[in-house]
Amino acid sequence: MAIKVETQAAQRSNADVLVVPMPKTKKGAKLAHGGLDRALGGQLKAAFVNGAFSGRVQETRMLVPTGGVKAKRVVLCGIGEKDEFSEECVRRAVGAAARVAGRSASVSIALHAVPGDAARAAEAAVVGWRLASYKFTKFKSDRKKGRPAGLSLMTSTAKAAATRAGAKIGDAVAQGVATARDLGNNPGNYMTPTILARSARAMAKATGLKARVLTEAQMGALGMGSLLSVSRGSVEPAKLIILEHGRKSKSRPTVCLVGKGLTFDTGGISIKPAGDMDKMRYDMCGGAAVVGAMEAVARLKLPLHVIGIVPSSENMPGSKATKPGDIVTAMNGKTIEVLNTDAEGRLILADALCYAQRYNPGLVIDLATLTGAVLVALGKHMAGMMGTDDASMGALQAAGRATHERVWQLPLDDDYDAQMKGRSADLHNIGGRHAGTVTAAQFLRHFTGDLNWIHLDIAGTAWDDATRVYNKGVGATGYGVRLLTRFLQERARR
């Protein structure tokens, strides 16, 4: 549903729920939204004066209007002090408001008191609202079927055009995130490589992207022995999903996005312990982020040539499964001794990264739930970033700060290769206890040729079941969609 932009004061809203982001103000300072306060009979000012509400980030306060304002509920949400203000304050504030607002047919968000760039504020408000409202209810028999609430943004005439532009961006980004979350949240029996490929095709058809899906036979003909060694133990055939946006251009080199699409990772013959194994449904979240980012890029019609590549497989034990010690050959001819079948992500990425080279891209970014070790290093707040292109890594870091999908750089260095030097083959696929995240990336480097390449290990950020914030506590977070979309937007601007 399209987002309306209204150039009116907040108190004129016709919506059921009126959300009002408010900065934290010193006692005695003039309050924003004086007109709304008068229409509410002084309730707004009173909330500040008597300490019921201070404007702290994520603080909310529900007011029930008595005449004067049509909304049934007014939800104040704090965006914090002016000097600590960022887009994230708006996303969190509006997200917190969405959680307390309850179900309603229509919502207005009054952005008059939000400082900074009006387009970014509008984008953040839409993203915060939509992401906090996200629920994965597909398998709940009592799910409520109602339509999502109609959303409008209220602002001044001066900021209307920027607000409209920002709302459009927020809408596209939120849609991409929802797609990535839906793909990630489906359990293994509803998300196989075949289903992932079908979903990607359907998204491509709806948004005008080109889509191609390679079969195991086609991958075999290309020499993708590394990727195919992972799907051998499963009855579900592997797929290589390719999405294409825009046209090749000389001035703006192609960007490839590669995402690990392991629809379920049991570990294979090197099987994982039973506890929490269900979480390995999320092992395709890198692939989901690529599909979601491609959707956002397509909806935004970014003037860039972007290729999304998702190698997808299950990792299962089975009588045909790859066994520890088996030797396989990747598309570039390198041989790999598979000492641990649970280090499968790097095996499917190896061939996908070789394949990416045929597009002659200026940059390749891969996203993968690759190592438990990145959780030890960085926890759930940042993805590990390693790569060969310092300028693009700087830009990615900036996009991460702006979208709050943050990345933190870890090293790459040939000295780590010693940990993976093969005995009978060129390489083995594990690097021992030390620096597990770095050795996984260093392994991938053997398949990137001379590409400008960035690897993001998203094993810590791809899902979160605990904290209830707009971007957490929702199962699959869709991490990467906002980061990549912002990064590509900035790149298209150069």
Kindly compute the dihedral angle of the four CA atoms of residues 380, 256, 266, 332, in this order, to the nearest 10 degrees: -130
The correct pick among 338, 354, 402, 430 for binding ligand BES (CB under 6 A) is 430
CA distance linking residue 435 with residue 418, whole number of Å: 12
Residue 283 binds to Zn ion (criterion: CB under 5 A) = yes
Residue 3 binds to ligand BES (criterion: CB under 6 A) = no
**Cβ at position 459, least distance to Zn ion in Å:** 8
C-alpha 155 chain-centroid distance: 28
Residue 265 binds to Zn ion (criterion: CB under 5 A) = yes
301-330: which residues touch ligand BES (CB under 6 A)?
A: none
Write each residue from 293 to 332 as x if it is in contact with Mn ion (CB under 5 A), else as -, in one continuous string.
Answer: ----------------------------------------
Residue 8 buriedness (CB in 10 A; 0-12 / 13-18 / 19+): middle
Residue 402 token pair: 């702006």
Write each residue from 447 to 476 as x if it is in contact with ligand BES (CB under 6 A), else as -, in one continuous string.
Answer: ------------x-----------------
Residue 59 binds to Mn ion (criterion: CB under 5 A) = no
Residue 265 binds to Mn ion (criterion: CB under 5 A) = yes
Residue 70 buriedness (CB in 10 A; 0-12 / 13-18 / 19+): middle
Residue 48 token pair: 């500040």
Q: Toward Mn ion, which CB reaches closer, 78 or 436?
A: 436
**Cβ at position 463, least distance to Mn ion in Å:** 15
CA distance linking residue 214 with residue 197, whole number of Å: 10
**Cβ at position 312, least distance to Zn ion in Å:** 12
**Cβ at position 210, least distance to Mn ion in Å:** 31
The correct pick among 128, 184, 259, 345 for binding Zn ion (CB under 5 A) is 345
Catalytic residue among 272, 279, 323, 401: 272
Q: Which stretch binds Mn ion (CB under 5 A): 41-49, 207-215, 334-342, 446-454?
A: 334-342
Q: Which does 316 bind (CB under 5 to 8 A by kind): Zn ion, ligand BES, Mn ion, none?
A: none
Q: Which of 306, 474, 490 is nearest to 403 (CA)?
A: 490
Residue 459 token pair: 């094993």
> Is the backbone of residue 108 left (phi > 0), alpha (psi -120 to 50) or beta?
beta
Q: Toward Zn ion, which CB reaches closer, 20 or 227?
A: 227
Helical ranges in 12-86 per DSSP H: 34-39, 43-49
CA distance linking residue 131 with residue 91, whole number of Å: 9
Q: Toward Mn ion, which CB reaches closer, 295 or 342?
A: 342
257-286: which residues touch ligand BES (CB under 6 A)?
A: 265, 283
4 catalytic, yes or no? no
Residue 342 binds to Mn ion (criterion: CB under 5 A) = yes
Task: Name, in order, each residue with C-beta under 8 angstroms of 463's C-beta and a sequence gap of 6 or more.
Answer: 184, 279, 282, 285, 475, 476, 477
DSSP letter at 117 equals -
Q: Which does 459 bind (CB under 5 to 8 A by kind): ligand BES, Zn ion, Mn ion, none?
A: ligand BES
272 catalytic, yes or no? yes
Strands (E), 369-474: 382-387, 406-409, 427-428, 453-457, 463-464
**Active centre residues (catalytic):** 272, 346
Binding site for Zn ion (CB under 5 A): 262, 265, 283, 345
Binding site for Mn ion (CB under 5 A): 265, 342, 344
Binding site for ligand BES (CB under 6 A): 265, 283, 340, 342-345, 369-373, 430, 436, 459
